[in-house]
A and B are shown apart, each in its own frame.
Chain A
Amino acid sequence: MYTQAMDTLRDEGGDKPALRTAEEAQLQQRFDNRIDAGDFIEAKDWMPENYRKTLLRQISQHAHSEIVGMLPEGNWITRAPTLKRKSILLAKVQDEGGHGLYLYAAAETLGTSRDQMLDALHTGKAKYSSIFNYPTLTWADVGAIGWLVDGAAIMNQVPICRCSFAPYARAMVRICREESFHQRQGFDSLLVMVKQGTDAQRAMVQEAVNRWWWPCLMMFGPPDDQSPNSAQGMRWGIKRVSNDTLRQKFVDAAVQQAEVLGVTFPDPDLRWNEESQHWDYGAIDWSEFWRVVGGDGPCNRERLAARVKAWEDGEWVREAALAHARKSDLKEAA
């Protein structure tokens, strides 16, 4: 899963102003040189304050997306059609939880606590990918998420494996290695439905694809000409490939895959462009994107409420575990 390019939404003002001392200017120069040389930055190395803030926001939002992303699919674990599909779905949802944990750990190296990040999520201060605010109405939605949502996520995440901040890059390498199974199991599940299913089941697949197509294109974030801070992200080696480039790559790959499934995408303007050698696609409804990011998607309230409830219901367990640990320490000391 992936957190979309929301890190580019707020103006961080770059890292130019307010260099107070000559020593700091020298540190900045050394940092810039290392970025230019393609070096990795480790957590304890000196870094500009805005680099730290930007990364902290991006990595924590990415982590939140993994955790909230467990909910739409988790919705179907008890109702998976076969034991095989249930095992696969359990493994996938467990992976998403694991990915969230790798990313929280990477963010913590930047000097924030897990509790702070969770508090930001639960109070609505931190965002997560808007894709998870859409519902999973039928079993076909689960397959469509694997194929399209995870497919888009992989496109987005592979370049982050080369992110200049090493703890983030290392987490992404691990995540990308595991993610490919997510997309393949989704496609496989839809393939079974269209090849061995009834007409009603084939229609179910098409309807799910219709629901997820446009939100998936939005996952890549606003168009390049409306992403004013992308240049700073590129300069810092946090962002490697532009939103529109990744989106195009995703569309080109998805069209071919859709042919194999025998489904179509709900876009009358989708056509091959001989000149550019890419698939042209229609206009994206960015007002919907901003509405969902802003909190007014189909499931925003439900998702956040589920996270807050899990946190609050788990409070006594967290406390009891700590109390048990303290008691065991005392017993050992005695």
Chain B
Amino acid sequence: MTTNTEWPLWEVFVRTKAGLDHKHCGSLHAADPKMAVQMARDVYTRRQEGSSVWVVRSDQIVASDPSDKDMYFDPAEDKVYRHPTFYKLPGSVDHM
């Protein structure tokens, strides 16, 4: 019974305080962008959890395919030399 009268779905991102990045925290239904921002504030920041809110229409998000997850993110697995711990240095300079 999906009807065309249902308000569209929005994803909500909240910045908890200045200096931090926006983090996805959930979704909600709203008729338009203005209402979505206002409802995001009411639903997701009732205890001062946020200093900034982003909302994005859920159908506008492009995502990687979860069934390809292993294959898609595999290529980085054998590139251990991308991590600092790969390099064993003499103790006297190891803090670099």
Residues of A bordering B, CB below 8 Å: 42, 44-46, 91, 94-95, 98, 101-102, 105, 108, 113-116, 119, 170-171, 174, 178, 318-319, 321-322, 324-325, 328
* Whole-angstrom CA separation of A322 from B25 in the bound complex: 25
A-B contact pairs, 12 of them (CB 8 A): A44-B63, A44-B66, A45-B66, A98-B42, A102-B43, A105-B26, A105-B27, A108-B9, A113-B2, A113-B6, A322-B5, A325-B31
Is B7 touching A98 in the complex (CB atoms < 8 A)? no
- Chain A residues contacting B7 (CB-CB under 8 Å) are 318, 321-322
- Chain B residues contacting A325 (CB-CB under 8 Å) are 31-32
Nearest first, the 6 A-B pairs at minimum CB distance are A321-B31, A325-B32, A44-B66, A113-B2, A325-B31, A105-B27
Checking A116, A318, A324 against B5 with a beta-carbon cut-off of 8 angstroms, the contacting residue is A318
Is B80's beta carbon under 8 Å from chain A? no
Is B3's beta carbon under 8 Å from chain A? yes
Distance from B6 Cβ to chain A, minimum over Cβ atoms (Å):
5
Q: Kindly count the residue-residue contacts between A and B in the assembled complex, taking CB atoms under 8 Å apart.
A: 56
Is B95's beta carbon under 8 Å from chain A? no
Is A178 touching B47 in the complex (CB atoms < 8 A)? yes
Checking A44, A119, A174, A328 against B1 with a beta-carbon cut-off of 8 angstroms, the contacting residue is A119
Is B82's beta carbon under 8 Å from chain A? no
Closest to A97 in B: B43
Is B1 touching A46 in the complex (CB atoms < 8 A)? no
- Chain A residues contacting B3 (CB-CB under 8 Å) are 113, 115
- Chain B residues contacting A114 (CB-CB under 8 Å) are 6, 29
Closest to B27 in A: A105
Segment 27-66 of B: residues with Cβ below 8 Å from A: 27-29, 31-32, 35, 42-43, 46-47, 63, 66
* Whole-angstrom CA separation of A178 from B46 in the bound complex: 10
- Chain A residues contacting B35 (CB-CB under 8 Å) are 321
Q: Which bracket fits the contact residues of B?
A: 20 to 34
* Whole-angstrom CA separation of A325 from B31 in the bound complex: 6
Closest to A100 in B: B43
Distance from B64 Cβ to chain A, minimum over Cβ atoms (Å):
10
* Whole-angstrom CA separation of A325 from B35 in the bound complex: 10
Is A115 touching B2 in the complex (CB atoms < 8 A)? yes
Distance from A115 Cβ to chain B, minimum over Cβ atoms (Å):
5
18 additional contacts (CB under 8 A) given A98-B46, A116-B1: A94-B46, A95-B46, A98-B43, A102-B26, A105-B27, A113-B1, A113-B2, A113-B3, A115-B1, A115-B2, A115-B3, A171-B26, A318-B5, A321-B35, A322-B5, A324-B32, A325-B32, A328-B32
Using A44-B66, A115-B3, A115-B6 as known contacts, say yes or no to A322 and B31 having CB atoms under 8 A apart: yes
* Whole-angstrom CA separation of A94 from B32 in the bound complex: 22
Is B85's beta carbon under 8 Å from chain A? no
Is B67's beta carbon under 8 Å from chain A? yes
**Most chain A beta-carbon contacts within 10 A, residue among B5, B26, B35:** B26
- Chain B residues contacting A113 (CB-CB under 8 Å) are 1-3, 6
* Whole-angstrom CA separation of A324 from B34 in the bound complex: 12
Is B29 touching A324 in the complex (CB atoms < 8 A)? no
* Whole-angstrom CA separation of A311 from B71 in the bound complex: 46
Checking B2, B29, B32, B42 against A116 with a beta-carbon cut-off of 8 angstroms, the contacting residue is B2
**Most chain B beta-carbon contacts within 10 A, residue among A45, A95, A113:** A113
* Whole-angstrom CA separation of A42 from B65 in the bound complex: 12
- Chain A residues contacting B47 (CB-CB under 8 Å) are 178
